[in-house]
Structure 1
Amino acid sequence: MTRRLLLSYLGLAVLVLAGLEIPLGWIYGRGEVTRASQSVERDASMLAELTEENIEKGNLDALPDVIGDYATRTGGRVLVTDREGVVLADSGTQVRTGTDLSGAPDIARALTNRPTVTTADDVLSATMPGTSGTTLRGTVRLTYPMTEVTARVHRVWGALALAGACVLAAVAVAAFTLARWITRPLRTLEQATAQLADGHLTNPPDATIGPPELRSLAVSFNHTATRLQHLLKAQHAFASEASHQLKTPLTALRLRLENFEPYLDPRAHQSLDEAVGEVERLGRMVQGLLALARLENTASTPEPVDLDAVLAERAAMWEPLAAEQHVTVAVAGAPVGQVWAIPGAVEQVIDNLVANALRVSPPGTAIMLARAPGGAFHVRDQGRGMSEADRARAFDRFWRASDTHHDGTGLGLPIVRHLVHASGGEISLHAAPGGGMDAHVRLRPVTGGRSQPGSGTSRTARATTAKP
């Protein structure tokens, strides 16, 4: 932001300077040309009077001295003709005496008693008739190079440019100081926001520096950050303490229900088993909620994870359990290398997805962990699958399909999605080819250096795997 403010101030200064100096330089240049034209025209008139007197008296030999002296003093060139347009004298050597110039446009106009002042090819020219009353006795052409005038104009432009550069330098220093003063509170707010996103605000922004509006913003931010930290600590304390406080009465309730078994009529045993099962399901649901709360309240930064090694390790872990149901677990696809994920997230994601797949896989089928390019992998089963409407709601908390016959809590897939998103990835459910479910997980691959992709931190942590 400092750079943008500095560029804005400098851009405004450049526009102001351009609006002032360009017209000033142009006006001065036009003025110099006008003054030079008037001076040449005045000198040409004066020379015309002098030469007319010499021509009238027949003193033609004095013409070279008159015009030569002027040319030496001023650096101009003077050419004199008679009333027929024949050259009488030339301070230069370009035109010989006796040359007929009556056909030249400026000489022809002067022979009709009309003066001419022109500027062409960096030469200022004035041609004047030499008259006495109504009698025309000759003409005078005075040419003057524009180099001196141009040099003066260029010097003025250089002075204006130097003054503009000095002004821009002063504006740059003042603008940089002002921009730093304005943006310093914003930088401290940015750092404080990043710290607050990590869950710990150690350096609150200083509310005593910067413009009044930013000081007020810093005060509001500090108040909000204090309130948020208090709420996060309270929620974290609840997530830490509620597990023990809730598990104890649930365990006691289960034991009391089981103690009723010897005293119940055999016909009530089924209802007792269902009640015990509901208590166990409630315990798992409490564990899932607490795990999800811990995920949302804890900050962690994605790290490089060897996806191939994790897939192979989790497949080996699940293979004996799947074999008890006559289901195989296999890894397929080309190696994908490392991906970005928060610590422990990939293992939990795979465990939850494989557990769901194993629950619906009939004997004699396979669960495939298929690697895909770009840091992705699939968990495919050959179960009954889910409808498109069910797949759209599968990540909702506590949701279970209407045809579900297991005792899940409906929290497994929400935890999986939270872990994947916290790692900077995406997860989606699709119908597997040939029937079944295909859970597609895409994480960010580690490419080149070790720098973490994206910005900020992900809010999650290790949590106990919760079954849906």
Structure 2
Amino acid sequence: MTRRLLLGYLSLAVLILLSLGIPLGYVYSRAEREQIISSAEDEAESVSAFASLSITAGRERRELPHRARHCAERIHGRVVIVGGDGKLLATSHALSATESRNLASRPEIAAALRGRDAIDVRTSTIGGVRYLSVAAPVVHGDVLQGAVRLTVPTDAVESRVHRIWLLLAVGGLAVLTAIAAVGLVFARWTSRPILELERFAHRLADGQFTTPAPVTSGPQEVRSLAATFNQTAARLEHLLASQRAFAAEASHQLKTPLAALRLRLDNLEAEMTGHARDSLNAAMTETDRLARMVEGLLAMARMEESAVTREPVDLDQVCAERLLTWTPLFERHGAHLALLGDPVGHALAVPGAMEQILDNLLSNALRATPLGSTVTIVLRCTAPDRRHLPGRPAWIQLHVIDEGPGMTADQRRRAFDRFWRAPDAPKGGTGLGLSLVQRLAHASGGEATLARAPGGGLDAAIRLRPAPRASEGRPAQGRPSRIGLPRRVRSDRSTPEAAPPSARSPV
């Protein structure tokens, strides 16, 4: 920010200096040129008047050469006086025979011999030196007696013009240097509190806000912004604390009565017969659905209460374990579960997120898949990423593909909304499963998408960033189907019955 402010100050200063310096230089250059032309014209008129008197008195041969030399010395140039017939009368310097014969053909002398009233001014280069030529007619009354030509070198004027341009450039650089020094101080004074506020904003985004941002330095607007930021941060911290307290209290206050209600309904099952048993089963189903909804809401509340840290997760191992856990339930419902693809290694994800994502997606697929069909878990890697992890894939993709009825494009767009369920969705869902999947994917730095499967059904895809190689402490273990089963499955995994089932639309 400091560089941008300083660049803005210097750009404005350069624009002002150019707007003032260039016109000033041109005005000075024009004034110098007009001054030398005016001086030459005055000298030409003076010599012309003197020549007219000398020619009238018949003393031109005696007086004019002396006058020409004297004038040439004063103007540091050359003076030539010709008669009315174009013949040389006097000169301040020696002329060759050719020059003497061609004097009348010179444009400025020819114009003066034609009796022009205005003084003719021309610029020419002689011997590599630029000269200003001024010619004036010699007139006595109405009689044209001859012409006078003065040639004045312009190198002195050009030297003065170059010097003034150099002075303007040096002065402009000095002004820019001063503006840069003052602007740097002002830019740092302005940007330092903003950068400090940005640092505190990043800390707040990471959940590490402990001290308020300073509000004692910088412009008044920045101090007011810092004060507003501190108020917002304090209010946000209070809201997060309230949400954490609600999640902790609701977890106990809601789950305990539901568990007690479920237990009482189980105790009544043995005493119920006929239609009463059907009503009891419906009540137990709704109780389980309510319990799953509470779990989903609490899970999303815990996700939103603070930022979470992403860690390397072995996707091969996670998929293999979830395959072992869910396969018996799929077989019980007359469906098949398969795991395909090549080992993908570790991906960055929130701890425990991939297990919840897979449980929700597999529960969705199980509800929608027809008898005898197959749900496939596919792992694959995209092309290597040269920016983030050179030599590593840009994304690791996890697909759960079923052979059910699928969704329309409009239903896929709304599938991640909370509590939304498709009109033809199987009963028992809560409308929270896919919403939780999406939030877990975003918290892990990836994304969740739904697409139509090639053979019909739905393709639920999760994209995650690969973890750096240094974080892969051990090689990925094999998995069933094309890759062998892992040697051991952790015993603390939730069973399919305990996993939150999700409907084809969000559960």
Common topology (TM > 0.5): yes
Letter in 1 for 2:45: S
Alignment deviations for residues 88-108 of structure 1 (CA, whole Å, 9 cap, x no partner): 444445543742422333212
2:37 is matched with 37
Alignment deviations for residues 182-230 of structure 1 (CA, whole Å, 9 cap, x no partner): 3333223322222222233234222222222222222222112111100
| 1:39 to partner: Cα distance | 1.1
2:418 to 385, 391, 397: 397
Using the size of structure 1 for normalisation, the TM-score is 0.84
Once structures 1 and 2 are overlaid, which stretch shifts more, 43-52 or 287-296? 43-52
1:466 is matched with 500
Letter in 2 for 1:18: L
| 1:295 to partner: Cα distance | 0.8
Q: Do residues 420 (structure 1) and 441 (structure 2) align?
A: yes
Q: Is the 8 A contact 1:199 1:229 kept in 2?
A: no
Alignment deviations for residues 134-180 of structure 1 (CA, whole Å, 9 cap, x no partner): 55443221111221111111111111122222222222222232233
Q: Do residues 366 (structure 1) and 387 (structure 2) align?
A: no
Quote the Cα distance in structure 1 between the aligned partners of 2:349 and 2:9. Answer: 44
**Kindly tell me: are residues 205 and 441 of structure 1, through their superposed partners in 2, closer, same or farther at Cα, counting changes over 3 Å?**
same
1:118 to 100, 122, 133: 122
Matches within 5 A, 1:250-289: 250-261=258-269, 263-264=271-272, 268-289=276-297
Quote the Cα distance in structure 1 between the aligned partners of 2:317 and 2:355. Answer: 10
Q: Is the 8 A contact 2:330 2:366 kept in 1?
A: yes
Q: Is the 8 A contact 1:117 1:127 kept in 2?
A: yes
**Kindly tell me: are residues 389 and 154 of structure 1, through their superposed partners in 2, closer, same or farther at Cα, counting changes over 3 Å?**
closer
Alignment deviations for residues 296-321 of structure 1 (CA, whole Å, 9 cap, x no partner): 11212556666566555644554455
1:407 is matched with 428
Structure 2 unmatched ranges of 5 or more = 383-393, 472-493, 503-507
Structure 1 unmatched ranges of 5 or more = 451-462
Q: Is the 8 A contact 2:51 2:60 kept in 1?
A: no
Letter in 2 for 1:429: L
1:163 is matched with 171
**Kindly tell me: are residues 393 and 217 of structure 1, through their superposed partners in 2, closer, same or farther at Cα, counting changes over 3 Å?**
same
Quote the Cα distance in structure 1 between the aligned partners of 2:145 and 2:337. Answer: 121
**Kindly tell me: are residues 178 and 255 of structure 1, through their superposed partners in 2, closer, same or farther at Cα, counting changes over 3 Å?**
same
Q: Is the 8 A contact 1:44 1:127 kept in 2?
A: yes
Quote the Cα distance in structure 1 between the aligned partners of 2:100 and 2:58. Answer: 19
2:7 is matched with 7
**Kindly tell me: are residues 269 and 447 of structure 1, through their superposed partners in 2, closer, same or farther at Cα, counting changes over 3 Å?**
closer
Letter in 2 for 1:28: Y
Quote the Cα distance in structure 2 between the aligned partners of 1:68 and 1:429. Answer: 102
Q: Do residues 380 (structure 1) and 401 (structure 2) align?
A: yes
Using the size of structure 2 for normalisation, the TM-score is 0.78
Aligned to 2:111, the other structure's residue is in SS state helix
1:433 is matched with 454
Once structures 1 and 2 are overlaid, which stretch shifts more, 78-87 or 384-393? 384-393
2:196 to 185, 188, 191: 188
**Kindly tell me: are residues 21 and 325 of structure 1, through their superposed partners in 2, closer, same or farther at Cα, counting changes over 3 Å?**
same
Q: Do residues 221 (structure 1) and 229 (structure 2) align?
A: yes
Quote the Cα distance in structure 2 between the aligned partners of 1:273 and 1:448. Answer: 52
**Kindly tell me: are residues 118 and 340 of structure 1, through their superposed partners in 2, closer, same or farther at Cα, counting changes over 3 Å?**
farther
Alignment deviations for residues 227-276 of structure 1 (CA, whole Å, 9 cap, x no partner): 11001011012212321232222222223333344555565333333333
Aligned to 2:235, the other structure's residue is in SS state helix
**Kindly tell me: are residues 305 and 23 of structure 1, through their superposed partners in 2, closer, same or farther at Cα, counting changes over 3 Å?**
farther
**Kindly tell me: are residues 102 and 357 of structure 1, through their superposed partners in 2, closer, same or farther at Cα, counting changes over 3 Å?**
same
Q: Is the 8 A contact 1:333 1:372 kept in 2?
A: no
Letter in 1 for 2:24: L
Quote the Cα distance in structure 2 between the aligned partners of 1:74 and 1:301. Answer: 88
Matches within 5 A, 1:320-359: 321-332=329-340, 341-359=349-367
Q: Do residues 151 (structure 1) and 137 (structure 2) align?
A: no
1:298 is matched with 306
| 1:380 to partner: Cα distance | 0.9
2:241 to 219, 233, 251: 233
1:198 is matched with 206
Q: Do residues 86 (structure 1) and 87 (structure 2) align?
A: yes
Aligned to 1:185, the other structure's residue is in SS state helix
Q: Is the 8 A contact 2:215 2:224 kept in 1?
A: yes
2:255 is matched with 247
